[in-house]
Structure 1
Amino acid sequence: MTGLAIAAHGLRKAYGDKTVLDGIDLSVPEGTVFSLLGPNGAGKTTTVNILSTLISPGPGSGEIRVGGHDLAADPQAVRAAIGVTGQFSAVDGLITGEENMLLMADLHHLSRRDGRRVTAELLERFDLVEAAGKPASTYSGGMRRRLDIAMTLVGSPRIIFLDEPTTGLDPRARHNMWQIIRELVTDGITVLLTTQYLEEADELADRIAVLSNGRIAAEGSADELKRIVPGGHVRLRFTDPAVYQAAATALRDVTRADEALALQLPSDGSQRELRAILDRLDDAGIEADELTVHTPDLDDVFFALTGKPGVPTQTDKSKETAR
């Protein structure tokens, strides 16, 4: 477990007859972003709650170490090494942003002088200086989330759990949060991020674990996960029906869309395969009017592994990249 910020083996949890986690293994290297991806009810928050000592693991769970400490034997040492930002903000809206920060400093037993210093530094880092004297209830959703993470950092944690930190944020606030997460990792902090958003995991995570029915259906980098799903293809579109027919004859093994004058060929999107397709067209003296490449994305991965449609995406991004 050397070099791992989090290491868990056979993590289990059940509530009555409902199994929430069914023996999952996690290995999170230090200084990385590890994302748990899954729909509501997949067990993401339960995993965070166990690893952050908020609830106990279920019977039969194996060894769990967080920050190098055994979670069962030394939970207090684990708490000293971590910070947690849950789905629901811990900000007290009745007091100011600065007072929220100072309250956290008191809870971490910082001296008055150190508490004010850390508060000032973090308010500036998270661009909250101007709003520091205003009641937190007046903050926008993005500002409350920034304050929430700033409060989490008061104790200088080495590991931070972010449980769906961008839910409900507008696109600008979401992208600002992504930048904050990247900066945390640059500072050497390990981030365990839970999210329903496929693009968020793709943008931020060094490794992703897809949770389905209490188990990890697959784990790897975003690129590794995309490679396990078939379905990549090249789409050629023509405006001249005669050229379209000639291309269908020359290329063979194509799926035709006669009304659209379009052909689809299986492809992994590699330069080698694209060159081969273009060479066959050139040899036949054919030029396509439009060529697009589709490679599997995390939407495809999620649906293939879990069979659960309707997972939120953050943009209406096209799955096709124009070439």
Structure 2
Amino acid sequence: MYFSLNSPKMFFFFVLIFKTLISISSNSWLGCWIGLKINLLKFIPLISNSNNLMSSEASLKYFLTQSIASINFLMSILLKLILFKNFEMNFFMSIMINSSMLMKMGSTPFHFWFPNIAKGLSWFNNFMLMTWQKIIPLIILSYYMNNNFIYIIIIMNVIVGAMGGLNQTSLRKMMTLFSNNNLGWMLSAMMISENLWFFFFFMYSFMISIICFTFNMMNMFFINQLFFNNMNSMIKINLLINFFFLGGLPPFIGFFPKWIIINFLINEQFYLMIFIMIMMSLIILFFYIWIIYFSFMFNYLKIKWFKSYFKNKNFSFINISFFFSIFGMIISTFFFY
């Protein structure tokens, strides 16, 4: 286990959780900034490891990028308080605040640090980086959002997230770039409704946790390990279902929040943005299918269909996710048809 016999990391983890809750419940911009800084200082000990040079390099890069974003955010709120009364909306200041939060999330066009840091982290730290560390910037972004600027960011996220993952061999880099694609959907949900983006974020976190836990249990970090690893075929079927779940292929339940977002965007007549988002999702699904197809084909002569893999307790969470995906297919089919 990640926290077994390691009380300092357990302490930093729980302080990280509580400081996030304190930051999002703050009623002042200075309180949000303090929460961001404490959140940063508590996450760095979790990702740093003296025995791993890549982890130490990742923690240093993460500290520098997050510090630059925090300085930009602090300068923006101070200029707003000095130059403008009642904190009214200003185009330039709103872009500065939005940009600092997008940099903290690793959103496009400030995403270049994100894959480089992810390749030096464990799967658990990658899961935290792709989910929990985005909560505070997303909520601050919802307080002071420039819609015209966010439109451009959404389109850039879905395009870069889909195209950038096509030439990657590292699974950790690939998952971070595909999380940028989901971030584009999340920002579009934020423009529609607060409850909708909460729901999408919950579904996104659940989907990412399944994939990260699966790769962590099988100790996989590169695509060629999926091709040549002598794994059970039932695990590959599970991966196929969960990739479809993550990619949002109908009628899997991962498509359900995207279907709601598409309906709202059609009502608002954002046809071009909907077209780009759907086409980029199809590219991601093509890549998922390509990976699983070759994973099956490289081992097609080995008969492993009747292996007793369900007896392994380590894969109980994966089994639950498999049945949840099937159950989601039934629910979404009932709603759609």
Return the TM-score normalized by structure 1.
Answer: 0.28
Higher helix share: 2
- Rg comparison, structure with higher value: 1
Higher strand share: 1
Return the TM-score normalized by structure 2.
Answer: 0.27
